[in-house]
Structure 1
Amino acid sequence: MGVSCWSNCCVFRKKCARRCGSLALYLTLHTHLRKGIMEENCCCGLLTVNKEPVPLKGVDVEVTVRDHVATVAATLLYENKEQSPIEAIFVFPLPSDAAVCHFSAKIGQSEVVAEVREKQKAREEYDDALSSGQQAFLLEESEQSPDMFSLSVGSLPPGESASIRLEYVTELAVQADDSLRFCLPAVLNPRYQPQGSDGTSGTISCGPDTSVPASLVPYSLSLSASVCSPRRITKVESNCSLDPVQYLNQQQTQATVKLASGHKFDRDVELLLYYKDSHLPTAVVEVGCESAKSGTLMGDPVVMLSLYPEFPPAVMSSMTKSGEFLFVIDRSGSMDCSMGSAGCCIFSTYSLETLLLLLKSLPVGCYFNIYSFGSTYTHIFPKSVVYSQKTMDEALKVIEGMGADMGGTEILEPLKHIFKQPCIPSQPRQLFVFTDGEVCNTTAVIDVVKRNSGSHRCFSFGIGEGASTALIKGLAKEGRGHAQFITGADRMQSKVMQSLRFALQPAVVDISVTWDVPAGVSVTTLSQPITNLFQGQRSLIYAQLTGQGSGDAEGCVTVKYSLADHPTQNQLKFSLKPTEDTGLTAHRLGARALIRSLEVEAKEHGDQSDPVKAKEKVIEVSVQSGVSSSLTAFIAVNKGNGEAVQGPLLRRNVPAPSLSALEDEDIYNQASQAPRDPMLQLISLQRASGSWLLQSTLAAVLGKTLKDVESTKPTSVSPEVWATVLAVIWLHGFKKDAQVEWEFLAMKAVSWLHGEKVPCMTECVEAGNILLGCQVQESSMGM
């Protein structure tokens, strides 16, 4: 088949694929078409490993952070060095909760700003433009997962350049150490297609149709960030190399930072921002757009509230000692190197140590089970068992033999199995899911968690570079839990233990939000209802304010809920006077929140007689606000001087960076040879009851001989009490900086000691301090 035939066939088949609404089919067809085209054409310019020219030359990213919200502007520079016009397709990740709000293209001196259209109409307009030889640009959200986007640059003539600019706004997540996390997803790993979902037997198919190892990505990335906060910026950290932070004022409330040159695309770019007093609630009232009609979302003011609920100390001091704890562990092959070259997630080194810590920290008398999944799934016990020394030992024995050796990533089936099991009376079910998130059926997985949200809480952990934000955040949101992302050199244990702390908190129920505003002002909440609250964690609320209030008027929002049968409420008063210089950030994030809520409504009503109304509302809000959705797309057509681009149109896939096991081999060897952390050695020796036995392995961790330890034991205490006191003193004396990791197992130890009714605890602690060279106070140990 000749090139021109392939070109005509390409446009025709793209139309067919797009009109049946499948991005996956669209990409699959292009994969086959590309192979045929490449047989007929020589390559020139920068090449991929498949010998294809790469028209994308560089990505420049500007990040503007205002307190806990970031505006991101990415400029992608394309250049066609071939002899024929090309169509470049780039599939790339974005945060799942990002609100894409601008898309434009500059060709020479001409700039075309895209508009939001219903997705099918946008696709047809794009295809029609290419068929007539016009330049066109299309940006659309994937139908498989809202954290994947496809950018199509069509009919770029030979020798011509195009600068593509897209902007989005996103919230910054609160981390375990109270920092705010900005992440620019750089790695897009292929997503696993579950068995039977499309007639296949389990394939890697829903990622980019062209990918290369991160070290071979043929385009550059530059990133700069400006940070502005009402509170002092204490520090900025990153998993990537940064130029020194530059503070712009003496108060250190403004700063700039840049990514060091030479970024290799071997990891997502993460910035951690630390503010003084970061947990103070805030309110921003943003004036509407002057050109928009009053009474509409974009025409009225929008308020963005950032709340940090504070729970009564009496309730927080009584952690629950019951529960059914289910750990669901991804053992697919991709888990073996999902951390990338920034810190390879060696399954046996990191995940298994975290499992050890979790098991040792569980309360005595609870229930637990451990599920593993890959292409299939297994569980250690036929059903959840009581936590005891015997069952803990059985579980640890199985854990020692675990590896990332179970093939694909079939997460849906083990979840279905879990939800079919009857709940245990008076044992709240707590689900901990660990995965790199490389799946296609994100929506189906989240839906099954949502349908069963009344029976459990779900705490999710995205492991490594390229973890799907849509999956990880969706699981936690619909499961009334909390999401964590663990990348690079992150210490997994501290984040996991924060989630365990949340799981041990009493569940918050009966959450309601009420507004008190002046007469003449009405409030329309844009966010989905709050389904979970945790101590010290932020909740964001967006609302549209319609009507007029006086210049100095105030509003008040009250969040009411029940915690351990205690009716509780938190209030925040705020001025209705608009905040200056906020742009339309709050409006766009509010629109995104409303769109997501409407998308859920459209999906839930999909089996009813009239699902069209909810979908029409999604499209209406998306078009009005200029914010992307699953049902719309950005389309721009450059009609130029009216002359058609001549020549056959060649398809060029821009390769997305993905991780290669070869890139991690050296780090794997280093990790496997590293000595084991003494703290983890100590933890591994603790018994299910919370006590330690007096033995040589414990003495070695303490840096003593068994003879030293035995000879200094007070005569009035048993060896087990003495060993347990020494272990707790050692943790307080030498591992205070890691207290978040060992806090619960130390509480178990102290509880066990109280049960032993030791008559001379003060003498015992003093003797332990002398032996270990510490000065730990008995009161600080909880004795």
Structure 2
Amino acid sequence: MSISVDSRIVQDTARVTFTQQFWNNADLPIMKALYTFPLPNGCTVTEFSCRIGRGESMNAIVMPRQEAQEAFNDAIVRGATTALLEQDTPEIFTSSLGNIPPNTRFKTKITLITLLKHRFADERKITTFTIPTYIAGRYGRAPDEFHGATSTDVHKGLSIQVEVLESDRIKQVTSSTHDISVDRLSGSQAAENFEDLADETPKKTTSIALVKLKDGSTFLDRDFVLDIESFLQGGLEQPKAWLEVHPTLENHQALMVTIPPNFFMRDTGNESGGEILFLADRSGSMVDKMDALKSALRFFVKGIPLGRKFNIWSFGSDYQSLWPQSVDYTEENVHQALKDINAFDSNMGGTELLAALEAVIRFRDTSTPCDIIILTDGEVWRLDETLNLVQRTRTYSQGLVRFFSLGIGRAVSHALVEGIAKSGGGYSEVVSSASQDGWEDRVVAMLKAALTRHVGSLEIDIKSQCKPYGESMSPADLGFLNPFQSNRIFVLFDEATDLNERGFIEIKSRTADGSHISERVLIQTIEKGDTTLHGLGSRAILEDLERGCSKIHLSAARPQRGSPEEQRLIRTEAEAIACSQCNPRQMSAEFRAGLLCVRNGKRLPTISRRSRLKPFRGAKPDRSPENGPKKKSR
């Protein structure tokens, strides 16, 4: 088996195609084979196809879970060769192959859209593109489908090629995880950016930075991380608005509004007071990551300004804090903290993050702004409760509490690390080890973000133009926008609008000192036949449905939380968006959709649930104590 990844990056959006080749070298057919693998967290899968030998290519479509499950099982029973793609978590997918003929090669192609991460840095514009390749063992009880998992036998079988467009605007392209080659060249024109999609006049050539692995292929033992640094353009980035007309669905339009971080962070300095709390993972899985964790913690502690209070918490099967309450930033306290950090070891058992985080929130100083920085490898199952806690705390504190996360290791859970920052109004970074080039820059970026002044609630008034509670919009509550990230607001319309004729929208926000900013943003219409914005918008709205922050959950006429009526409305909305936009974005076990191909000319949709899954590595054993974790203070 082999895997190839071809990517094309336009500004901060990447279109990625994963090609997986399987080979049944036996003289008998294989009734069912499963291959579980990671994809970029929160990506939008837009296409899934498969080819048997040199036969025709089969393209998949989407259907609700129950109907698709029946179709898939029927294909297996009929003896038809079939392929299924399912999403198990926001970052873990499985290809299921059925009735593979003997001595036959089988190829599947998965095309997706993902957004690049922006680095929070002064006078530098850096975006990060990550291809996850490895699923580490995780603590706690895995989903039922994961029982009996085995390791993959794919070794040095991954090849990667990345085309970065607009290379004349790029200062450098680097990778801290793999040896790469970067060639500058000119190529035939495709869209270089959203301006090009809106421009009907084609260009003949475009500048491209072509990135490849120096050795041609690599092992599946660590994430591939690519940093792209662009030349700074004059002045601050400005909000932009794009309107995409669907090429085949009548009256369907997608509006995307991009809000750069500097729009919210203007005229904001560092917080003069407040509290910084560190929560360090010292579970058994951190045994090979403690040097990186201690280096980052020492850096954080030395960088805290005077006037802040701080405390250091550790967790494993239980949790403990250096002091019962946060203390002033004094020379004596800093010395004690550094001494304690130097003695850290991965000797605290399992990874009970949720209980530790609840304790940190419970013991914080509620009278002052609080920034919580979590350092972990993220190797846990069941993320929903943790992310819900983070989101509730941010909401109930009205932005007084923010959450930041530093992922440590070669195979962190991006769903957890990025999810904490997104739900908590903070910022996230990932470092593989203390010896990794550039790890200090990532830690500096996180500390700088944590020290900035809290901006409070963020409001952008586009209701008069977009009727957000009458249309499908993400986020439904604009208070969920994150000032440290490049925010995108999506609105999907299925009826005719006058946005194209009006030509602009108006954005309003409130700064930290209470003053208001209002800005009129011109709308650029994408005339070319494309569905990129529809795909990104549907992914974002489905994610809001999953996280409980959609228009259904926030409407004044919302049904009771957890009621059958709420579940019915969520199911109806999710299935309508997923099927109309062909987006198998995972919901929960009840609302998942997938993609299925069936041979002999029939194209049947997919399911969201299987009889079993096989990840790369087995789950960690659950070693939590019977009586639950206890707080300790030293």
**TM-score band w.r.t. shorter chain:** 0.7 to 0.9
SS at match of 1:433: strand
Q: Decide whether the 8 Å contact of 1:232 with 1:252 is kept in 2.
A: no
Q: CA deviation at 1:558?
A: 0.9
1:470-619 alignment runs, 5 A limit: 470-487=415-432, 489-515=436-462, 524=471, 526-528=473-475, 529-531=477-479, 537-544=485-492, 547=496, 549=498, 554-563=503-512, 565-569=513-517, 571=519, 573-578=521-526, 580=528, 583-601=530-548, 607-610=562-565, 611-619=567-575
TM-score (norm 2): 0.81
Residues in 1 aligned to 2:598 and 2:245: alpha-carbon distance in whole angstroms: 30
How far apart, in 2, do the equivalents of 1:231 and 1:518 lie?
A: 37
Which residue is 1:745 aligned to?
Answer: none
Residues 136 and 357 from structure 1, CA distance in 2 versus in 1: closer, same or farther, beyond 3 angstroms?
A: same
Higher mean C-alpha displacement, 515-524 vs 378-387: 515-524
Give the SS at the match of 1:656.
coil
Aligned partners of 1:326 and 1:370 also within 8 Å: yes
Give the 3-state SS of the residue equivalent to 2:525 in structure 1: coil
Q: Specify which structure has the higher proportion of helix.
A: 1
Q: Which has the larger radius of gyration?
A: 1
Question: Residues 287 and 400 (structure 1 numbering): CA distance in 2 closer, same or farther, change over 3 Å?
Answer: closer
**Pairs aligned (count):** 566
The unaligned stretches of length 5 or more in structure 2 are 188-203, 554-559, 603-610, 620-634
Superposed, 1:377-456 pairs within 5 Å as: 377-421=319-363, 423-425=365-367, 427-453=368-394, 454-455=396-397, 456=401
Q: Which moved more, 1:72-81 or 1:483-492?
A: 483-492
- Displacement after TM superposition at 1:187 (Å): 1.3
User: Would the aligned equivalents of 1:285 and 1:302 in 2 still touch at CA under 8 Å?
Assistant: yes
| CA pair 301-633 structure 1, distance change in 2 beyond 3 A | closer
2:135 corresponds in structure 1 to 188
Greater share of residues in strand: 2
* Distance (Å, rounded) in 2 between the aligned partners of 1:312 and 1:244: 34
Q: SS where residue 534 of structure 2 aligns?
A: helix
Does 2:229 match 1:274?
A: yes
Look up the equivalent residue of 1:285 and give its one-letter code.
W
Would the alpha carbon gap of residues 131 and 198 (structure 1) be closer, same or farther in structure 2, given more than 3 Å must change? closer
CA distance in 2, matches of 1:277, 1:520: 36
**1:187-206 matched pairs, under 5 angstroms:** 187-193=134-140
Give 1:640 deviation, angstroms.
2.1
2: CA distance between counterparts of 1:620 and 1:521?
17
- Displacement of 1:572 in angstroms is 5.3
Among candidates 111, 117, 121, match of residue 67 of structure 2: 121
CA contact (8 A) 1:519 1:549 kept: no
Contact kept, 8 Å, 1:188 with 1:207, in 2: the verdict is no
Equivalent position of 2:260 in the other structure? 307
Structure 2 matches for 1:86-485, cutoff 5 A?
A: 86=30, 87-108=32-53, 109-142=55-88, 145-176=89-120, 177-193=124-140, 209-211=149-151, 217-218=154-155, 220-229=157-166, 232-238=169-175, 239-248=177-186, 253-260=207-214, 261-277=216-232, 280-281=237-238, 283=240, 285-294=242-251, 299-310=252-263, 315-316=268-269, 319-337=270-288, 345=289, 347=290, 349-421=291-363, 423-425=365-367, 427-453=368-394, 454-455=396-397, 456-485=401-430
CA contact (8 A) 2:167 2:209 kept: no
Specify the alignment match of 1:6 in structure 2.
none
Deviation at 1:637, TM superposition (A): 4.3
Are the aligned partners of 1:248 and 1:256 in contact in 2 as well (CA < 8 Å)? no
TM-score (norm 1): 0.66
SS in 2 for 1:287: strand
Instruction: Work out the CA distance in 2 between the residues paired with 1:609 and 1:636.
Output: 29
Assess, with a 3 A threshold, how the Cα gap between structure 1 residues 230 and 588 changes in structure 2: closer, same or farther: farther
> How far is 1:231 from its partner?
6.8
SS in 2 for 1:267: coil
Question: Within 2, Cα distance between the matches of 1:520 and 1:484?
Answer: 35
Q: Aligned equivalents of 2:384 and 2:525: distance in 1?
A: 40
Residue 592 of structure 2 corresponds to: 632
Question: 1:99 touches 1:592 (CA, 8 Å); kept in 2?
Answer: yes
State whether residues 114 and 634 of structure 1, in contact with CA within 8 Å, keep that contact through their aligned partners in structure 2: no
CA contact (8 A) 1:521 1:548 kept: no
Aligned to 1:717: none
Structure with larger RCO (C-alpha < 8 A, sep 6+): 2
Q: Which amino acid aligns with 2:253?
A: D
8 Å CA contact retained: 1:288, 1:302:
no
Q: Measured at CA, do residues 156 and 336 of structure 1 come closer, stay the same or move farther in structure 2, by a change above 3 Å? A: same
Map of 1:775 onto structure 2: none
**1:67 counterpart letter in structure 2:** Q
Residues 112 and 636, structure 1, Cα contact 8 Å, conserved in 2 = no
Superposed displacement of residue 179, structure 1: 1.0
Query: Structure 2 matches for 1:767-782, cutoff 5 A?
Result: none
Change (3 A) 1:625 1:601: same
Superimposed CA distance per residue, residues 638-659 of structure 1 (whole angstroms, 9 cap, x where no aligned partner): 24289xxxxxxxx998773799
- Quote how far apart the aligned CAs of 1:540 are: 1.8
Partner SS state of residue 452, structure 1: helix
1:547-589 residue CA offsets vs partner (Å, 9 max, x unmatched): 35597752134140231x33232635223432547x2211110
Q: CA RMSD in A?
A: 3.4
Report the CA distance between 1:490 and its aligned residue: 4.4
CA distance in 2, matches of 1:384, 1:416: 16
Deviations 1:209-238 (A, max 9, x none): 2225xxx73361112122224971222112
* Amino acid paired to 1:232: R
Q: C-alpha distance in 1, partners of 2:263/2:549?
A: 35
Q: Distance in 2 between matches of 1:98 and 1:81?
A: 33
CA contact (8 A) 1:217 1:657 kept: no
State the SS of the aligned residue for 2:344: coil
Q: What is the alpha-carbon distance in structure 1 between the residues aligned to residue 94 and residue 617 of structure 2?
A: 15
- What SS does structure 1 have at the residue aligned with 2:262? coil
Question: Percent identity among equivalent residues?
Answer: 25
Counterpart residue number, 2:192: none
Q: CA separation in 1, counterparts of 2:34 and 2:111? A: 18
Unaligned segments of structure 1, at least 5 residues: 1-56, 200-204, 338-344, 643-650, 660-783
Q: Secondary structure at the match of 1:112?
A: strand
2:629 alignment counterpart: none
